[in-house]
């Protein structure tokens, strides 16, 4: 008998032995296995507690239940919108990754000392749910803490380079640009970003631009999949001493653009003070979705079909 047949027989015998205990365990014990939640939504947790609160009346519990259903519905609508990748439209997701430390070393003194940060901003061209995310679709913008801060001007400038230089051909051929990012006011959801996008509209007047923000607590985007792979790779490395070593690692995952060499910063914050602030008719903090071609603001995804159809 060959080795493969022997191991198959051995596996079958082991399973035969284990099946009674598996059945007993799954039927008699009410236990489940899974990864512990690390980034759970505060609203979901609040509703789950409120629904089972013995001090609430039946009517109050029903109202909490209805609010929870609406909250979950909003999350579903957001992910439906993200997944609606259609031809002729370019869908981009972007975010900042956790700061990368320099030097990364196993030596104890370095861990307890103040380390320098390397900032990384990632833009991913989303091709649809479970797409393979090729290197060409990933653009990674890096800069050091001593060169510039992590603010709205840097994020808007990096995205500006991505749209006007790296993806210029795709943007010019598109009818619509769909942007998805979290609602961080300091980075993505601010007037610097709006003024940069308004300037882009002047270059491409027929381009429709929508910027959509996720429900708080449910902000997992395709860019986070790339970041997860990068973090996994970096975690396995004991020593990284130079920014160039980080750049070499990042090049395995996408196109790396170094600040000062490949792209520069523009002061959109100052420019927006004179122009955009005087013209706008909406509060950006309330927006769940901005349509910059029509100046429409959606405050609730559940109204999206009515407002943007
Ligand atoms: Zn939630």
Q: In this structure, is residue 14 part of a structural domain?
A: no
Residue 242 domain boundaries: 76-308
Distance 187 CA to ligand 1 centre (A): 22
The burial of 102, by beta-carbon neighbours within 10 Å (0-12 exposed, 13-18 middle, 19 or more buried), is given as buried
Rounded CA gap, 125 and 179, in Å? Answer: 10
Distance 41 CA to ligand 1 centre (A): 4
Specify the pLDDT at position 296: 80
173 within domain boundaries: yes
What is the spatial distance between Cα 220 and Cα 226, in angstroms, rounded to a whole number? 11
Q: Ligand 1 centroid vs 50 CA: distance in angstroms?
A: 14
Those residues whose beta carbon sits under 5 angstroms from the ion ligand 1 are 41, 43-44, 217
What's the total number of domains in the chain? 1
Distance in Å, CA 221 to ligand 1 centroid: 15
Residue 25 falls within a domain, yes or no? no
**Cα(88) to centroid(ligand 1), Å:** 32
User: What is the CA(56)–ligand 1 centre distance, in A?
Assistant: 21
Determine the Cα angle at 307 with ends 306 and 309, to 5°: 70
Q: What is the rounded distance in angstroms from the CA atom of residue 213 to the CA atom of residue 235? A: 30
Does pLDDT of 78 surpass 50? Answer: yes
Show Cβ contacts of residue 249 under 8 Å, excluding neighbours closer than 6 positions. 230, 233, 234, 237, 240
Indicate if the pLDDT at residue 308 is higher than 60: no
* Residue 2 placed within a domain: no
Asked whether the beta carbons of 91 and 126 are under 8 A apart, the reply is yes
**pLDDT value at 66 more than 90:** yes
Separation of CA 5 and ligand 1 centre (Å): 50
Alpha carbon of 46 to ligand 1 centroid (Å): 9
pTM for the full predicted model: 0.82
- Looking at residue 287, its pLDDT comes to 84
Residue 80 forms part of a structural domain: yes
152 inside domain: yes
Q: What are the pLDDT digits (tens) for 110-146?
A: 778 888 999 999 999 999 887 888 999 999 999 999 9
Quote the pLDDT of residue 10.
76
Q: Is residue 184 part of a domain?
A: yes
Cα of 151 from ligand 1 centre, angstroms: 27
Quote the pLDDT of residue 213: 93
Whether 30 maps to a domain, the answer reads no
pLDDT exceeds 90 at position 259? yes
301 CA from centroid of ligand 1 (Å): 14
Instruction: Tell whether the model's pLDDT for residue 278 goes beyond 60.
Output: no
For residue 83, report the distance from its CA to the centre of ligand 1, in Å. Answer: 19
Phi, psi values for residue 80, rounded to 5°: -65, -45
């Amino acid at each position: 008998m060959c080795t493969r047949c022997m191991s198959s027989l051995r596996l079958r015998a082991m399973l035969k032995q284990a099946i009674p205990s598996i059945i007993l365990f799954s039927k008699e014990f009410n236990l489940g296995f899974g990864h512990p939640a690390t980034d759970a939504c505060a609203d979901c947790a609040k509703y789950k507690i409120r629904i089972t609160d013995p001090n609430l009346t039946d009517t109050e519990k029903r109202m909490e239940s209805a609010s929870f259903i609406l909250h979950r519905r909003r999350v579903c609508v957001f992910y439906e919108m993200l997944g609606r990748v259609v031809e002729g439209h370019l869908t981009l997701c972007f975010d900042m990754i956790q700061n990368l430390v320099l030097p990364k070393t196993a030596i104890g003194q370095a861990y307890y000392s103040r380390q320098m940060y390397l900032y990384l901003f990632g833009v991913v061209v989303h091709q649809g749910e479970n797409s393979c995310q090729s290197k060409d679709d990933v653009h990674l913008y890096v800069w050091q803490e001593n060169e510039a801060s992590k603010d709205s001007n840097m994020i808007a400038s990096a995205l500006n380079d991505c749209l006007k230089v790296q993806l210029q051909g795709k943007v010019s051929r598109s009818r619509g640009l769909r942007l998805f990012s979290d609602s961080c006011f300091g980075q993505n959801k601010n007037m610097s970003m709006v003024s940069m996008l308004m300037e882009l509209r002047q270059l491409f007047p027929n381009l429709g631009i929508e910027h959509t923000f996720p429900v708080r607590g449910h902000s997992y985007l395709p860019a986070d999949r790339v970041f997860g792979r990068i973090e996994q790779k970096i975690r396995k490395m004991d020593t990284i001493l130079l920014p160039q070593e980080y750049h070499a690692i990042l090049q395995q995952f996408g196109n790396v653009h170094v600040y000062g060499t490949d792209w520069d910063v523009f002061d959109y914050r100052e420019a927006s003070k004179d122009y955009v602030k005087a013209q706008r008719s909406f509060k950006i903090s309330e927006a769940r979705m901005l349509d910059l071609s029509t100046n429409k603001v959606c405050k609730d995804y559940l109204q999206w079909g009515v407002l943007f159809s």
